[in-house]
């Protein structure tokens, strides 16, 4: 896979160039297909190319003896149960229109979608599975996790059930959404992997994602990834397009992250993100040779932001972070994921390799600015 530019957004958002340190990063695309009067799809990399979002966790069968027929035979029933909880999100603004997907969070009109689906929208409508259209407004968003909460003035909506644990790899994953404007489209696959990350700039990533091979297309962003029990295990967010020589590699934000973020957004209107204050980089063989590193895994510190937890803890450029708390850091995304699970003000122990010596440094995490 090759590195490239990323446009995760819709409604005319501009491409973001992947950082040089995002080694082997794929060309990724957001799924809210923003369109103008002449265009029907967009990708995260080019102006008008097909791309979408997906990934799915799902816990389908509990017994090893269950056949593929047993698992996939459940899909029609799952679709009947979950589809009413999946909506189409229609946006417009600045001579553009966009189509994405969303999932009903609560019966009183709260809907979850991607931030990039509604970002910059002048007006928003939600189309229910029944075909009814309702005006919607943004309640709160969290760009770092690409989650947005919108509300419609309607009661009695069929809320989805969100899983509270990660799905097992290999379990059923069903994606439901509105790819290319085709409402209530269903595709199925498996959970291909967990704890994946998608670099979208030199300073951040979408981390701890679910990977799936369920087929997705523009417009799936914000839609549901469902397991074999009919629970939402992820909100579709990005995929690797065919021009990156990939086949069926999609990503979703795990329901565990969604539940946490939505809870904070509804309570306070914002999300607290722990901040360490380093610019981490991947350790490549060439970099290890150039810097004479004694370890081949971890996150190398390329820069330390003055006045942050990292500086106060004594971190220095050239240090290799190999652990944070109880989490082993083999890659940059492991560091991001550990920070995502932490809170500002929390004290953590960093395991660091410096000049061949292993050190333990204590840091009190700060809060990342929006």
The one catalytic residue among 115, 119, 142, 146: 146
Q: 298: helix, coil or strand? A: coil
Across 318-328, b (16+ Cβ under 10 Å) vs e yields ebbbbbbeebe
Helices (H) and strands (E) in the chain, counts: 7, 23
Strands 327-328 and 96-104: unpaired
Output b/e per residue, 168-177; b: 16+ Cβ within 10 A: beebbbbbbb
* Residue tagged 């795990």 (tokens): 254
β-partners of residue 177 are: 185
- Plot region of 8 (φ>0 → left; ψ -120 to 50 → alpha; else → beta): alpha
Is-catalytic flag, 146?
Answer: yes
Cα–Cα nearest to 191, from 215, 219, 169, 162: 169
* 190/243 Cα distance (integer angstroms): 22
Those residues whose C-beta lies under 8 Å from the C-beta of residue 281, and which sit 6 or more positions away, are: 21, 287, 299, 300, 301, 302, 332
- Choosing from 101, 116, 217, 342, the catalytic residue is 116
Cα-only R_g, the chain: 21
Q: Annotated catalytic, 195?
A: no
Per the annotation, the verdict on 116 as an active-site residue is: yes
Catalytic residue, chosen from 51, 101, 221, 255, is 221
CB 198 within 8 A of CB 238: yes
Calculate ∠ Cα 122-124-129, nearest 5°. Answer: 165
In angstroms, the CA 118 to CA 126 distance is 11
Q: How is residue 357 written in tokens?
A: 């010596």
Residues with catalytic function: 116, 146, 221
């Amino acid at each position: 896979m090759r590195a490239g530019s990323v446009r995760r957004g819709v409604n005319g958002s501009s491409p973001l160039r992947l950082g040089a340190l995002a080694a082997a990063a794929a060309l990724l695309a957001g799924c809210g297909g923003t369109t103008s009067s002449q265009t029907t799809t967009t990708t995260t990399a080019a102006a008008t190319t097909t791309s979408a979002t997906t990934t799915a966790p799902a816990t389908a069968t509990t017994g090893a003896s269950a056949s593929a027929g047993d698992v996939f035979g459940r899909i029609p029933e799952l679709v009947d149960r979950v589809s009413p909880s999946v909506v189409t999100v229609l946006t417009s603004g600045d001579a553009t229109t966009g189509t994405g997907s969303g999932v009903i969070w609560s019966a009183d009109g709260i809907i979850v979608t991607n931030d990039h689906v509604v970002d910059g929208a002048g007006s928003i409508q939600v189309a229910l599975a029944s075909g009814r259209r309702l005006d919607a407004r943004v309640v709160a968003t969290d760009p770092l996790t690409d989650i947005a909460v919108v509300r419609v003035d309607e009661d009695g909506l069929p809320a989805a059930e969100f899983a509270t644990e990660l799905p097992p790899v290999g379990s059923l994953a069903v994606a439901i959404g509105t790819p290319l404007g085709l409402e209530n489209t269903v595709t199925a696959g498996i959970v291909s992997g967990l704890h994946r990350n998608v670099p979208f700039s030199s300073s951040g990533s979408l981390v701890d994602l679910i990977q799936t091979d369920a087929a997705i297309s523009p417009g799936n962003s914000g839609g549901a990834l469902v397991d074999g029990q009919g629970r939402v295990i992820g909100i579709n967010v990005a995929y690797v397009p065919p021009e990156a020589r990939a086949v069926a590699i999609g990503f979703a934000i795990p329901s565990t992250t969604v539940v946490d973020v939505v809870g904070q957004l509804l309570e306070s209107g914002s999300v607290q993100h722990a901040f360490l204050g380093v610019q981490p980089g991947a350790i490549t063989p060439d970099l290890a040779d150039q810097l004479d590193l004694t370890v081949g895994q971890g996150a190398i510190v390329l820069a330390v932001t003055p006045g942050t937890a990292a500086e106060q803890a004594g971190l220095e450029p050239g240090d290799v972070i190999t652990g944070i708390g109880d989490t082993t850091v083999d890659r940059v995304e492991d560091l991001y994921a550990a920070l995502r699970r932490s809170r500002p003000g929390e004290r953590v122990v960093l395991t660091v390799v410096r000049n061949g010596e292993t050190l333990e440094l204590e840091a009190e995490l700060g809060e990342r600015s929006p």
